[in-house]
Structures are given as structure tokens and as C-alpha cells.
Structure 1
Amino acid sequence: MTTLTSGVARAGGPATAWSADPYTVALRRGRGPLYLRRGDGWLLPLDVERWCEAPDGADRTVLDHCRGAVLDIGCGPGRLVSALASRGHRALGIDVSPEAVARTARSGAAALHRSVFDPLPGEGRWDTALLIDGNIGIGGDPAALLRRTAEVLAVTGSLIVECAQAEGGADVDERCEVRVADGRGGLGAPFAWARVGPAALARQAAAADWVPAGRWKAAGRAFTLLTRGAAAP
């Protein structure tokens, strides 16, 4: 298991970090380079180009598992929200980046400039929620995020999480402080983040009364479908 824990500075916070350059610049251009930069200099590449394009084959496996009304948490530029709407779902994206919300709206999809921890429309009635593109890391506390999604979803609702993968098959379970970086010296404000692999997600999910109902891989990406324990067969 790969684990990193560090103190998390509260200055700025995620809303500030994702609302400022270089993330905003990258979204406006529709391309990177863009990274999450840890304090020790380690860089996690962010796939801005893929986020700004139509859903790929791996994304479509996620869309195929969605049912009913769908909430995309950390929707980015809105590729999944747009695709869900075109499939006839009632779909809403939320994101703390104004530019991400604006891009989603320009695509014709619905989005709100909102944190998942803020009051949300339809709380307790969403059928599916998405935490894709590493968004299980939002807030740096996966357990808290899983508890919050349980409040947002209907008791029969499901949650689809994209998990981190490490080389060699090691589990990933990491809490750290990061900044958005452009690789050329531009840095956003520090904020708390997490990376969670499938095994670590299963442990966190059990503590929040979620039950793994399916796992799959596509195009080198790993996904887990969670259902509420009370509603599981």
C-alpha cells in the first residue's frame, strides 16, 4: 500500500485553487500541460484534453451504468453531463470552478457553481452520482465525501467512483496537500486532496455503509460501482 499523509494548509481552499490560474487558463485553452503538484515536487498529470473532448470508450462504460437522475460531482467542462442529457437523463454538474461551469453551460448542459458540501438541489433524490477523473479526492477526506454523497443520493441510489491505480498493482491510499501547476512555474493555492485505489475505496466505503456492487477497467482506468448498504440485496 502506498500511503502519504501530510499537514493540510487551510489558506485558499479548493474553491480558490480551482477558480484561479493555471486551471482556468487550461480550461479556456482546452489543453494542458496541467498537474497536481505535491509539496515534495511529485506531479500528477491532469488530462485536460480528454476532459474537454467528447466521452471516450472508458467514459461510455460509466454512462452505461448510470440510471435515472444523475449528479456529476466535480463535472469539469461537462463532457459527461452533456452526454447524459443527450441520453435522456436528468443530469446536473457541480463544480467549484466558474470556468468549468461556464464551459458546461456553453455545451447546453446544466451545471452549478457549487461544492458538494454546499446545499444542493434534489438532496436525497438523486439516483446516481459520479466521482470521475479522481474526484474521490475532493476535500482530501474520502470518508467524509462518501458520507456526503449518501446524503445527496436516494436510499436506492448508486455512486460510481473512478479509482487511482499504482504501477505494480500496489494499493493507493494517499492524503496530501497539492497545488494546480502548469509545469512552467504557475501555481494555484494549496488545498487538500486524496488518491484512493479500489481496495482502499472498499475499506472507506464499508465505514460509510456503501457496498461495492461492481468493478471494471477500461482503457487503463478503474471504476467501482457502490450501492447503499441498506439497499443492497
Structure 2
Amino acid sequence: MTTSPAVPWTGSDPYAAALDAGHGPLFLRRPDGWLLPLDVERWCARADPVDRMVLDRCEGAVLDVGCGPGRLVAELAARGRTVLGIDVSAAAVGHAMRLGGQALCRSVFEPLPGEGRWGTALLMDGNVGIGGDPRALLDRVARLLTPGGLLVAETAPVDVDERTRVHLTDARRAVGAPFLWARLGTPALLRYARGWQPEAQWTAGGRRFVALRSRCASSRAEPPKSTAVISSQRARKPSAERPVADR
């Protein structure tokens, strides 16, 4: 398994404070001082019409990678869908659970419940940048999905292919150690998506999205005998349709 990158936001007071307040300012800062604004206000709000159109495409059980404060997890849960959010920020996971979603404080590169049985994975809000290695991230997501599973990714609104080290900052001071991040436009993401079948591209509300289909296998592996456990909750036996615990 790919080694997990350093967890940058765990224990980050400005990030936790921004989530509690529901707004920034909060940025990713490159070594040259360039700032990428983080849309904390939208992350902390309820799912908007663009989000809901994305969620309409979801198939089967949904894994929201880098779920943040949980607006998408909460919306899917309200629809009665099986969904799990994962995030390296304990503050974000706590926020998602308070909204009524199911979430786990964990990196996508660590062991996860229901591996190989998720119907859809989401990489929204710039999360194609996680780990700074797009190909490694796509390979990992492919292993999490069921054969022929769906990935919906939000790409940058410009044609960019950038991998760099960044700091989290509130524009006054950097917080924590620098970490690897990537920014990808749609053309760059498609170049990295070897072994994926492009299914759709679209723009809505000034945001850009790509849907990719994972490679189909000739046969599906038997589901594991053990149950999946999220946090301290005892799970029901997972299945291809329900790979995570009900709350």
C-alpha cells in the first residue's frame, strides 16, 4: 500500500477555528508566497445545487475522500444513502458527525472499511491534490472502488498541473509542517487517469467536474468475513451494497 503522506491539519487551531466559525480567511501558501484561498464558507454550508447535481450521479455506497466538515456526507445521509466521509482533521470529522453523517478520522492511504466495495468515490473541493501525487491517489481510489466503480472529481477551473509543498495559513502565519499538494485542471487529471474510463466532463456554477469509471475485473472477490468497525461503533456485516456500518 502507498505510504500515507504526513497529516497536515490534525490539531491545526486556525483550521478548527475556521470550521467552528464557518468562515475564513484560510489559505494554502506556496513557498513563493502565492496564496490559494480555501472556501470555508461553502464547505461549512449545506450542499448547494451544484453539489446536489454531483450527488445525483452517485452509485451504490459512497466514500467522500477529504470530506471536510461534511456537507456532502450529511446530504447523502439525509437521502438515505450509505455514505462514509474520511478526513485527516479531527475537527472536520466531528463537524460532519454533528451534521448527522458518518465519518472517520483517517487518511485515504490508510486501511479503510469496505475496501474494494465502494460504488462511488468523491474527490471534491480540490481533493485531487491530496498527497501531491495524482497518479498514486488515483491508484489508491481504484483499489477502494468496486470493479467498474465511479469516481467523481472536482478539478481546478483553469488548465493547471502543479505539484508543490504548501503551508496552511490564515494569512498571518503558517501553521504546522509543509505538506505536498497538487492542483489539477481537467486535462491534467485525464492524463494521470491511466486505467480509468472517462465518462463525463461538465461545468456548473463556475466549478469543473470529471467522472471516471474504474477498470472492470472479470470477477468480484468474495466479501471479507469480518465486520467493518468505524471508530468505536460495532458494524453490521458488510456487503457489496453496504460496506460500512449503519449508525
TM-score normalised to structure 1 length: 0.88
In structure 2, the partner of 1:173 is 161
CA contact (8 A) 1:17 1:179 kept: no
Q: Deviations over 1:37-94 (max 9, x none)?
A: 0010000000001000011121112111111100000000000000011112100000
Match for 2:122: what amino acid? L
User: Shift of the alpha carbon at 1:104?
Assistant: 0.6
Match for 1:224: what amino acid? V
CA contact (8 A) 1:173 1:195 kept: yes
Structure 2, gaps ≥5 residues long: 218-247
Q: Deviations over 1:167-203 (max 9, x none)?
A: xxxx210000001110122433210000111001111
In structure 2, the partner of 1:68 is 60
Match for 1:210: what amino acid? W
The 5-angstrom pairing of residues 61-210 of structure 1 reads 61-166=53-158, 171-206=159-194, 209-210=195-196
CA contact (8 A) 1:17 1:189 kept: no
CA contact (8 A) 2:27 2:35 kept: yes
User: Shift of the alpha carbon at 1:116?
Assistant: 0.4
Aligned residues: 213
In structure 2, the partner of 1:5 is none
CA contact (8 A) 2:162 2:184 kept: yes
TM-score normalised to structure 2 length: 0.83
- Among 21, 31, 35, which residue is 2:23 paired with? 31
Match for 1:162: what amino acid? E
Assess, with a 3 A threshold, how the Cα gap between structure 1 residues 195 and 18 changes in structure 2: closer, same or farther.
farther
CA contact (8 A) 1:17 1:190 kept: no
In structure 2, the partner of 1:41 is 33
Greater helix percent: which structure? 1
**SS of residue paired to 2:176:** coil
Assess, with a 3 A threshold, how the Cα gap between structure 1 residues 188 and 22 changes in structure 2: closer, same or farther.
farther
* Root mean square deviation, CA, Å: 1.2
**SS of residue paired to 2:188:** helix
Match for 1:55: what amino acid? A
Assess, with a 3 A threshold, how the Cα gap between structure 1 residues 145 and 227 changes in structure 2: closer, same or farther.
same
* Structure 2 CA distance for aligned equivalents of residues 35 and 174 of structure 1: 16
* Structure 2 CA distance for aligned equivalents of residues 119 and 86 of structure 1: 26
Q: State the identity %.
A: 59
* Structure 1 CA distance for aligned equivalents of residues 208 and 10 of structure 2: 24
